[in-house]
Amino acid sequence: MGTLFRLFSPPPTTLCTNKFFLSPSTPSISFPRPNTTSSTKKHQYYRTQSSKYGNFLDLKPETTQPESLDFDLSWWDPKSDRPHFDVIIIGTGPAGLRLAEQVSRYGIKVCCVDPSPLSVWPNNYGVWVDEFESLKLEDCLDKTWPMACVYLDENKTKYLDRPYGRVSRKKLKTKLMEGCVSNGVKFHEAKVWKIEHQEFESFIMCDDGNELKASLIVDASGFASSFIEYDKKRNHGYQIAHGILAEVEEHPFDLDKMVLMDWRDTHLGNEPYLRVKNSRFPTFLYAMPFDSNLVFLEETSLVSRPVLSYKEVKSRMVARLRHLGIRVKRVLEDEKCLIPMGGPLPKLPQSVMAIGGTSGVVHPSTGYMVARSMALAPVLADAIAECLGSTRMIRGQPLYHRAWNGLWPIERRCRREFYSFGMETLLKLDLDGTRRFFDAFFNLDPYQWQGFLSSRLSLQELLLLSLSLFGRASNMSRFDIVTKCPVPLAKMVGKLAIETI
């Protein structure tokens, strides 16, 4: 849901709150053809109208280059250091560094390979405060809001008594780097372009001509990676968004609340084409107000298949800000965000391990991933240490099997199927159906809706949540569930049966 939820290793130079971006510097990735708008004349009309109110799309972001950390890393020296490690991690995003920090605690020799290891991540992450507190990472939050709110329509607002925070990318990366350095992790500044496998070890070839080898290669390079194999059709849903960190004349948001979702559509009253499209493929506003003149704003399509047009999302955002009376004076940072959601897990097991965006840990119903990757990295590290620790040396296929099963045991795979069922349900709902769904969802016991968003409910608890959700839903929402969910439900039951056989 919006920018609260996601992760990968860093590509571009933009702002985000848990997302995957695309920019000229981002590796190419193939996505389905979007729902493009059909009339150039219509878009000309929208641009002309919005320019009267100061179209923020005409403003260039002031931050275009990623900041670099002033940090003394332990670099791998091809002239003096052995090229063999226990584990090589490709990528120094949050997931990769967290895993490197955790694995190296066991005395396992680790090397992180990344084109720019010291660059501060170009994206900001938003998380629920209790998630980072449970990971003892609350000191890495640079801004918190005591509450969140959800605008369902003009007449109904939900207030969520759950603190929300923005992660300080510099603090988090510095903390993870410090852990890596103190544990002896080596770093190599290069891009991995090829991986080859032998029976008990694997080789990476880098674009600088160097070759390194390890017992286990872990891909933490993000969604665009080509190193992970799939044996099923990748029928993802897609979350797409456009966001800006902006200095504004004023804004209407309470400073003690972040806006998790704003589903109101009155801003499209004079935009009949946009309103009709939004009714079928709705988008919402996500907002982090920092002070009376500084705010992060993002228009987000929760999930669609095929992906909603990026131009469509920006047009809706222009109309929304105009309606809210938000005049943008400066764009400090901007983002273009695209997240594959749901779809099949990677082939289990395979010779390359994965963590982060390419491993399937993105929440299929929401896009959440940062806190979850932080939480799962120690679990994967334990599985790796059981094989490569000081007293054991399990390599090859047994190692791959234990590592992948450590990340994706049967129970966790079954829960993911349930979350994927949630995504498939959301894909079938129009704006009114989506509003009714979230009205019932946030009426659930806080333990249930919080547990669902944070991926911490057991399969039995998820089933109880479904029954409770159906009981609290309106008659129209129940009608949506009964008429639109049988096929996704049948598919989920079938997949659960296969997983448990």
All residues at 6 or more sequence positions from 327 whose CB lies less than 8 Å from its CB, including other chains:
53, 54, 248, 249, 250
CA-to-CA dists, residue 232 to 76, 104, 236, 304, 480, angstroms:
38, 33, 11, 20, 29
Q: What is the pTM of this model?
A: 0.87
The owner of tokens 């002309």 is 48
Q: Where is pLDDT greater, at 178 or 6? A: 178
What DSSP string describes 375-407? HHHHHHHHHHHHHHSTT----SHHHHHHHHHHH
Q: What is the spatial distance between Cα 131 and Cα 144, in angstroms, rounded to a whole number?
A: 13
- Residue 248 above 80 pLDDT? yes
pLDDT on residue 64: 65
Residue 53, SS3 per DSSP? coil
Q: Where is pLDDT greater, at 46 or 126? A: 126
pLDDT on residue 119: 93
Query: Cβ distance 54 to 355 under 8 Å?
Result: no
Query: Cβ distance 344 to 234 under 8 Å?
Result: yes
Minimum mean pLDDT range among 6-10, 114-118, 350-354, 444-448: 6-10
Torsions phi, psi of 270, nearest 5?
-105, 15
Residue 472, SS3 per DSSP? helix
Structure tokens at 289: 């107000």
- Residue 155 above 70 pLDDT? yes
pLDDT (mean) for 168-179: 96
Helices assigned H by DSSP within 105-159: 129-134
87-91, 118-122, 309-313, 336-340 — most confident range: 87-91
pLDDT on residue 31: 38
pLDDT on residue 62: 83
Residue 109: count other Cβ atoms within 10 Å of its Cβ: 18
Query: pLDDT (tens digit, 9 = 90+) per residue, 187-198?
Result: 999 999 999 999
Query: Cβ distance 266 to 279 under 8 Å?
Result: no
pLDDT (mean) for 109-118: 97
Cα within 13 Å of Cα(322), Cβ side: 25
The owner of tokens 């103190």 is 182
Query: pLDDT (tens digit, 9 = 90+) per residue, 425-482?
Result: 999 999 999 999 999 999 999 999 999 999 999 999 999 999 999 999 899 888 888 8
Residue 258, SS3 per DSSP? strand
Q: What is the spatial distance between Cα 128 and Cα 148, in angstroms, rounded to a whole number?
A: 10
Cα within 13 Å of Cα(176), Cβ side: 29
- Residue 90 above 60 pLDDT? yes
- Residue 71 above 60 pLDDT? yes
Residues of the chain with pLDDT > 70, as a percent, come to: 87
Q: Could you give all domains of the chain from N- to C-terminal order, each with its CATH number?
A: 2-64+234-341 (no CATH), 84-142+164-231+346-409 (3.50.50.60), 411-500 (no CATH)
Q: Where is pLDDT greater, at 65 or 141? A: 141
Residues 171-174: contacts with CB under 8 Å, at least 24 apart: 171/139, 171/140, 171/142, 172/94, 172/125, 172/137, 172/140, 173/69, 173/94, 173/97, 173/120, 173/121, 174/69, 174/71
pLDDT (mean) for 286-303: 96
Q: How many residues does the chain have?
A: 501
- The average confidence (pLDDT) of the chain is 87
Strand partners, 211: 205
Q: What is the spatial distance between Cα 412 and Cα 401, in angstroms, rounded to a whole number?
A: 16
pLDDT (mean) for 270-286: 94
Closest among 380, 319, 334, 336 to 354, alpha carbons compared: 380
CA-to-CA dists, residue 86 to 31, 196, 203, 208, 332, angstroms:
35, 16, 12, 21, 42
pLDDT on residue 488: 72
pLDDT (mean) for 216-243: 92
Please give, one letter per residue, the 3-state secondary structure of 273-333: HHHHHHHHCCCEEEEEECCCCEEEEEEEEEEECCCECHHHHHHHHHHHHHHHCCCEEEEEE
